[in-house]
Amino acid sequence: MSSKEIISVIPNSTLYDVEKIRNDFPILQTKVHGKQLIYLDNAATSQKPISVIKKTQEYYSSMNSNIHRGVHALSQVSTEAYESARIKVKSFINALGKNEIIFTRGTTESINLVTQSYGRANFQEGDEVIISQMEHHSNIVPWQMICEEKGAKLKVIPINDEGEIIFEEFEKLITHKTKFISVVYVSNSLGTVNPVKNIIDLAHQNNIPVLLDAAQAVHHTPIDVQELDCDFLVFSGHKMYGPTGIGILYGKINLLESMPPFQGGGDMIETVTFERTTYNELPYKFEAGTPNIAGAIGLGEAIDYISQVGLENIALHEKYLLDYATEAVADIPGLKIIGTAKEKVSVLSFVLDDVHPHDIGTFLDFEGVAIRTGHHCTQPVMDRYNIPATSRASFAMYNTKEEINTLVNGLRKIIEVFG
């Protein structure tokens, strides 16, 4: 589908044919409890277009072979497909070179790679690492672990009532001991888009490297790592319409060069003797063992799909959905939105007076509506608002205004039942 074929459904006259997009996602035809599935849990994982599903199937039915090691025809085909997926990722985030793109299992593993390799090699007792109060546990726990090991201190940028980083507080946290800053680009539980360029600029004025957790960003907003000048950027395939078990670590080449391997094994070596092993060049130094070949190829296909629809078109459609949903829930009695930042993506977290989020989630499930309830792996965010959990609806390129109407009607029914 070319973006020219897209027809308007958005009142601001943006060209976008959501029905055509929906037809590309077979799972959206599913019935749940006899009702049409309305999938609003996209921040947890997105659904996959048929092109990604077919590509993964095609890999196993006509390409399957281990990569980087066989001279036979199939191994060359699979190696080429795997490496061309790397080039797609490189172009997607505008990295300088393909050697800066490491395939991992996902965001979580990418962050652990940085903490265990960069952190272990560079942190010392008394050093400081800065994260924010709105991090996913994946961007908290690995830093806690390495700080504990090294005797370093983890410092936290507080957020305001709207769910935005308090920039002045961030400035105050930076000292001559700060060795690393790791922040989320877009919050999964609040939807906040952080001022990452300003964070990076300030960090670099103080010679501090910055990692951006872009798990909730890459499929909502175009990212140019050279323009941002971030030192590391991490994300997962499964949240951006690609397969599970595949993710990316982008790192600036000079940093990756300077870092020791994360895991040892096949493919990451140059030569091995019992006395001494030398390591492979980038990016293979960080890709020990047989990787998720099908996943990488599927991720490349997901990038093609996103690019065809156009990230700008997706962002406009999702903004329309977010604005529509925010307005639609505004007059629901007892409903409070958690996360009201000026800059937000299509995540709507809320609490409803006297109704536990798990009851909301269960009730909506019987209406066919899938939302996420809980702490969303951001317990410190829940603590900040003094709540145990929220209900979260998160919208993707294939969601519609009508689906939001069903969500809102469901919420009104809940109030009748529980109220």
188 in contact with ligand 7TS (CB under 6 A): yes
Which lies closer to ligand 7TS via its Cβ, residue 18 or residue 397? 397
Per the annotation, the verdict on 377 as an active-site residue is: yes
- Determine contact, residues 349/162, Cβ cutoff 8 Å: no
SS3 89: helix
Judged by CB under 6 A, the residue of 101, 152, 184, 249 near ligand 7TS is 184
What character string, x for contact with ligand 7TS (CB under 6 A) and - otherwise, covers 136-175?
Answer: x-xx------------------------------------
What character string, x for contact with ligand 7TS (CB under 6 A) and - otherwise, covers 198-237?
Answer: ---------------x-xx-------------------x-
CB of 381 to ligand 7TS, least distance (A): 11
* Active-site residue, selected from the candidate residues 145, 377, 387, 415: 377
CB of 34 to ligand 7TS, least distance (A): 26
Q: Tokens 């536990």 sit at which residue?
A: 356
CB of 236 to ligand 7TS, least distance (A): 3
48 in contact with ligand 7TS (CB under 6 A): no
Which lies closer to ligand 7TS via its Cβ, residue 108 or residue 280? 108
CB of 42 to ligand 7TS, least distance (A): 9
Angle, vertex CA 85, rays to CA 116 and CA 226, nearest 5: 65
Which lies closer to ligand 7TS via its Cβ, residue 18 or residue 114? 114
Site for ligand 7TS in 351-380 (CB under 6 A): 372, 376-377
- The Cα–Cα gap between 100 and 120 comes to 20
- Determine contact, residues 288/264, Cβ cutoff 8 Å: yes
For 238: left if phi > 0, alpha if psi spans -120 to 50, otherwise beta; the answer is alpha
Both tokens of 7, joined, read 């027809």
Question: How are strands ordered across the β-sheet holding 335-338?
Answer: 335-338, 347-352, 390-394, 372-374
Among the residue ranges 80-88, 132-140, 154-162, 383-391, the one whose residues contact ligand 7TS (CB under 6 A): 132-140
Judged by CB under 6 A, the residue of 15, 44, 156, 253 near ligand 7TS is 44
Torsion, Cα 235 238 243 246, to 10 degrees, reads 30
Both tokens of 53, joined, read 């599903």
CB of 52 to ligand 7TS, least distance (A): 16
What character string, x for contact with ligand 7TS (CB under 6 A) and - otherwise, covers 83-112?
Answer: -----------------------xxx----
Bridge-partner residues for 31, per DSSP?
36
345 in contact with ligand 7TS (CB under 6 A): no
Q: How far apart, in Å, are the Cα atoms of 110 and each of 120, 142, 152?
A: 15, 10, 21
SS3 14: coil
Closest by CA to 418, choosing from 337, 363, 381, is: 363
CB of 185 to ligand 7TS, least distance (A): 8
**Phi, psi dihedrals of residue 347, rounded to the nearest 5°:** -120, 125
Rg (CA), the chain: 22
Question: How are strands ordered across the β-sheet holding 247-251?
Answer: 101-104, 247-251, 232-236, 210-213, 178-184, 128-132, 153-157
Total residues at interface with ligand 7TS (CB under 6 A): 17
- The Cα–Cα gap between 356 and 358 comes to 5
Judged by CB under 6 A, the residue of 21, 38, 40, 43 near ligand 7TS is 43
Which lies closer to ligand 7TS via its Cβ, residue 79 or residue 138? 138
The catalytic site residues sit at: 377
Binding interface with ligand 7TS (CB under 6 A): 43-44, 106-108, 136, 138-139, 184, 188, 213, 215-216, 236, 372, 376-377
